[in-house]
Chains A and B, each alone.
Chain A
Amino acid sequence: MKYIDEYRDEHLVQALAAQIARKITRSWSLMEICGGQTHTIMRYGLDELLPEGIRLVHGPGCPVCVTPLETVDQAIAIASLPGVTFVSYGDMLRVPGTSLDLLRVKADGGDVRMVYSPMEALKLARARPDRKVVFFGIGFETTAPANAMAVWQARRENLDHFSMLASHVLVPPAIRLLLGGPHNQVQGFIAPGHVCTIMGYRQYEAISRDFHVPIVVGGFEPVDLLEAVFMLVAQLEEGRAEVENQYVRSVSYEGNLPAQRLVESVFEVSDRKWRGMGVIPQSGLRLREEFAAYDAERVFPASHLTVAEPPECISADVLQGLKRPTECPVFGGRCTPENPMGALMVSAEGACAAYYRYRRHSAQSAKQKGAA
């Protein structure tokens, strides 16, 4: 497949890894914020190719993982109501709430559907005027335009039985929080290429300046990620702290203006709680007042309970890059993908699940296959 295969070229990947090794004179901690990038790193074993001095820290960029427990519980409560058809992206179905997940609601007879696109939720709403169709609109900046389009279109067609439970988060406020934290160890960031495809990277320039930290907008394939690491290492070694764009083929400085305009007209910026990180000011999107009739939070009012996370789960530290999943006392024991205690274990993109799936025996496998 064009624009995929050439970015998985073994020789190029090895050459880049060698370049990084040659460039590096001391150790550096880098964070990839985006869970998709974490997945690529684990899926292809890229971390094993990097010199020992590079420590990759996996950031909070998985919308499934950072959706607060309260919101998951709210989704489960709505999905359990009679007369509701609850529609979700596949990722969210297995995320545990306090006591259930959406797949179990379905097992108990709830009408829970999975779609690839929010427009398919809308299609369901057109076909079933007798049901209340609720779409679970999660995501970062990348998904916001698509979810916004579904709501905008629903209002245009007066599909009043359609609503969206929105759980949208924004990346730059989370990066600021991480960099400003007293325990921050991250010295360079790979900014999420698809978020920046929508938003551009103007916002990241201020972050880079304020915290004197290099940021490289990176793509999602092995060559992309290693090139982004190389660019970060080059900046760090040369004492620079700038915003650079590795993912030029998709990301422009201004981003996607038509998408930004639609998001702006449907959503407004609000404070938002992130699972494992707490409330981050101005870090989320909520539906504007004009779209209140399509806002599931208002259509299905809920008393906002605060729900406690399982005390053993160290998701919060992992999300902030302070600990690795393997440092958790319940990792791989009481907490596994079959029986997840925290969201990082349940989503394929979550750092814990990625470690469990691809790295559980990494010492062992690295030993015997490293030279082959």
Chain B
Amino acid sequence: MCLAVPGRILEAEEYDGSRIAKVQFGGITRPVLLNFVPEAQVGDYVVVHVGFAISRLDAAEAERTFQLLEEMGLLEGELAGSEGPP
């Protein structure tokens, strides 16, 4: 239901009561409203849906998930030969 895509905040400015960020998705950027993620800062990754950031991605949590997954896979010998996540 709801296509939302992570992108990185390159810059942000106040305009008419809203914070508007320039957010990078791969090789493009587009303006994104930060009204719902007041805590987001330049350099953060946000999940964007229809032009609004709906969450600030938790880098530590993402990392931890990967460690768990990798341990799980490696313990089972499934990840042998894989470079693992970047």
Contact = CB atoms under 8 A, between A and B. Distances in A.
A5 B86 contact: yes
B54 A259 contact: yes
Contact of A197 (B47, B61, B84): B47
Contacts of B58: 248-250
Contact of A249 (B52, B57, B82): B57
A15 B78 contact: yes
A198 B54 contact: yes
Given A6-B86, A15-B78, A259-B36, A63 B1 contact: yes
A96 to B, nearest CB: 20
Contact of B62 (A5, A19, A249): A249
B3 A248 contact: no
Contacts of A26: none
Interface string A15-42: 1101100100000000001111000000
Contact of A119 (B37, B51, B69): B51
A120 B51 contact: yes
B42 interface: no
A149 B4 contact: no
Contacts of B86: 2, 5-6
Contacts of A223: 69
B84 to A, nearest CB: 8
Contact of B6 (A4, A15, A248): A4
A286 interface: no
Interface stretch (A139-147, A201-209, A275-283, A291-299): A139-147
Contacts of A33: 1
Contact of B55 (A12, A14, A197): A197
Given A142-B54, A248-B65, A15 B2 contact: no
Nearest to A61: B1
A11 interface: yes
Interface of B: 1-6, 8, 25-26, 33, 35-38, 45, 47, 49-52, 54-55, 57-59, 61-62, 64-66, 69-70, 72-73, 76, 78-79, 81-82, 84-86
Given A5-B86, A143-B50, 9 more contacts: A11-B79, A12-B69, A15-B78, A16-B69, A116-B50, A192-B2, A248-B64, A249-B62, A262-B36
Closest 4 CB pairs of A and B: A117-B51, A15-B78, A11-B82, A142-B2
